Structure 1
Amino acid sequence: MSIIYSTLTSIINKISDEFHRSFLFTTIFTILEFIENQWVNSFFKKLYPSEDFLSFLNKNKILKNYLFHPLAVLVVFAMFLLLALNSVSNSLAATLALAFAGFFIGCCILPRFFLKNDLKSIVRFEKKDIYSIGFCLTLVSIVFFFISVASVGGIPLLKPSIRYLLKPIFTMPVFLIIPGTCLIASAYLKDFQDENITRSQARFRFIFLLAIDCAFLLLLGYRTPLLAAFLIIIIIGFYGNIVSLWEVVVGALIGIGAIIGIGYFRSLGELTITSSTNPFYTLQSRADFTLHVLNLLDFIGGNFGITHGHLLASAIPGSELGPRMMVGKLIAWRTEVTITPTLIGQMVVDFGKIGVFIEMCLLGFVLGIGFKIMQKTKDYFYIGIYSLILTYSILGVETGILDIQVLLYFAVAIFIYLISLVKSAN
Structure 2
Amino acid sequence: MSIIYSTITSIINRISDEFHNSFLFTTIFSILSFIEDQWVNSYFKKLYPGEDFINFLNKNVILKNHIFHPLIVLFLFAGFLMLSLNKPSTSLVITLLIAFIAFFIGSTILPRFFFNDDFNIIQFERKDIYSIGFCLILVSIVFFGICIASVGGIPLLKPSIRYLLKPAFTMPVFLIIPGTCLVAGAYLKDYQDEKITRSQARFRYIFLLAMNVAILLLLGYRTPLLAAFLIIIIIGFYGNIVSLWEVVVGGLIGVGAIIGIGYFRSLGEMTITSSTSPFYTLQSRADFTLHVLNLLDFIGGNFGITHGKLLASSIPGSDLGPRMMVGKLIAWRTEVTVTPTLIGQMVVDFGKVGVAVEMLLLGFILGIGYKIMQKTKDYFYIAIYSLILTYTILGIETGILDIQVLLYFAIAIFIYFLNIVNSKN
Residue 70 of structure 1 and its aligned partner are, at CA, apart by 0.2
The sequence identity of aligned pairs, in percent, is 82
Distance 1:84 1:23 in 2: 54
Deviation per CA, 1:329-367: give whole Å up to 9, x if none.
000000000000000000000000010011000000000
Tell me what 1:185 maps to: 184
Tell me what 1:384 maps to: 383
Deviation per CA, 1:157-184: give whole Å up to 9, x if none.
0001111111000001100000001000
Deviation per CA, 1:186-210: give whole Å up to 9, x if none.
0000000000000000000000000
Tell me what 1:6 maps to: 6
Structure 2 length normalisation: TM-score? Answer: 1.00
Tell me what 2:62 maps to: 62
Distance 2:246 2:114 in 1: 33
The yes-or-no answer on 1:341 pairing with 2:337 is no
Distance 1:213 1:186 in 2: 16
Residue correspondence of structure 1 range 55-204 to structure 2 within 5 A: 55-120=55-120, 122-204=121-203
Distance 2:184 2:118 in 1: 26
Distance 1:409 1:254 in 2: 26
Distance 1:97 1:192 in 2: 42
Contact 1:186 1:236 in 2 (8 A): yes
Residue 373 of structure 1 and its aligned partner are, at CA, apart by 0.1
Tell me what 1:297 maps to: 296
Contact 1:347 1:356 in 2 (8 A): yes
Contact 1:119 1:376 in 2 (8 A): no
In the alignment, structure 2 segments of 5+ residues that lack a partner are none
The yes-or-no answer on 1:205 pairing with 2:204 is yes
Distance 1:414 1:117 in 2: 21
Contact 1:57 1:63 in 2 (8 A): yes
In the alignment, structure 1 segments of 5+ residues that lack a partner are none
Deviation per CA, 1:203-236: give whole Å up to 9, x if none.
0000000000011000011110011011000000
Contact 1:83 1:284 in 2 (8 A): yes
Contact 1:306 1:352 in 2 (8 A): yes
Deviation per CA, 1:34-92: give whole Å up to 9, x if none.
00000000000000001110000000000001100000000110000101110100000
The yes-or-no answer on 1:306 pairing with 2:301 is no
Deviation per CA, 1:229-272: give whole Å up to 9, x if none.
11000000000000000000111111111100100000000000
Tell me what 2:224 maps to: 225
SS in 2 for 1:26: helix
Tell me what 1:25 maps to: 25
Tell me what 1:241 maps to: 240
Tell me what 2:331 maps to: 332
- The residue type equivalent to 2:216 in the other structure is L
Tell me what 1:270 maps to: 269
Tell me what 2:34 maps to: 34
Aligned pair count?
Answer: 425
Distance 1:301 1:146 in 2: 42
Residue 119 of structure 1 and its aligned partner are, at CA, apart by 2.3
392-401 vs 249-258, which moves further: 249-258
Distance 2:241 2:272 in 1: 40
The yes-or-no answer on 1:409 pairing with 2:401 is no
Residue 425 of structure 1 and its aligned partner are, at CA, apart by 1.1
SS in 2 for 1:69: coil
Distance 1:176 1:131 in 2: 14
The yes-or-no answer on 1:423 pairing with 2:422 is yes
Deviation per CA, 1:96-139: give whole Å up to 9, x if none.
0000000000000000011122222x210000000000000000
Distance 2:204 2:150 in 1: 32
RMSD: 0.4
Structure 1 runs of 4+ with >2 Å offset: none
SS in 2 for 1:264: helix
Tell me what 1:47 maps to: 47
Tell me what 2:278 maps to: 279
- The residue type equivalent to 2:104 in the other structure is F
Contact 1:102 1:358 in 2 (8 A): yes
Distance 1:148 1:334 in 2: 27
Residue 154 of structure 1 and its aligned partner are, at CA, apart by 0.7
Contact 1:118 1:376 in 2 (8 A): no
The yes-or-no answer on 1:253 pairing with 2:252 is yes
Contact 1:84 1:287 in 2 (8 A): yes
Distance 2:297 2:6 in 1: 46
Contact 1:301 1:352 in 2 (8 A): yes
SS in 2 for 1:94: helix
SS in 1 for 2:335: coil
- The residue type equivalent to 1:5 in the other structure is Y
SS in 1 for 2:334: coil
Contact 1:119 1:377 in 2 (8 A): no
